[in-house]
Amino acid sequence: MLKHRGFPSRLPGSDFQFTIRRANPKGATPIIRRERHADRRPADRRADAAFLAALWEHFGEEPFARGNLDAGRLSWLFGREVVPAEDPFDNRSYDALLRIDMGRAMAAFPDIFTNPDEK
């Protein structure tokens, strides 16, 4: 399992996990698309935004391996802002390639992608 060095392990001041410490001996937890409803808690929304911002800062528009990124946190963005970068896509592989869908990411989280000097 690839460990993404320098990637934040969690949202500061919270229990929202961004990475895992070690591979599961039974295999990787599958990445699934989770529905985000309009009534989600503000803390959950902040965690999604912080995770996507970390992905953007760490990988940009380049494809990246799932590696030690948390499947639960990826699942909140999967199929929308984070999409498979390979076909066929194995949602149970630590080596699976993903990428940020810039159009959807910018529409859903505009604050992440705006230049602070332009505000």
CA distance 106 to 66: 21
pTM of structure: 0.88
pLDDT at residue 114 tops 80? no
Q: How high does pLDDT run on average in the chain?
A: 89
More confident residue, 52 or 38: 52
Burial of 118 (0-12, 13-18, 19+ CB in 10 A): exposed
The reported pLDDT for the residue numbered 93 is 92
pLDDT at residue 119 tops 60? no
Burial of 60 (0-12, 13-18, 19+ CB in 10 A): exposed
Mean pLDDT of 61-84: 94
- Within the chain, residue ranges assigned H as helices are 42-59, 71-77, 102-108, 110-113
Look up tokens 């060095």; give the residue.
Answer: 5
Mean pLDDT of 63-91: 93
CB 18 within 8 A of CB 70: yes
The reported pLDDT for the residue numbered 115 is 61
CA distance 109 to 50: 10
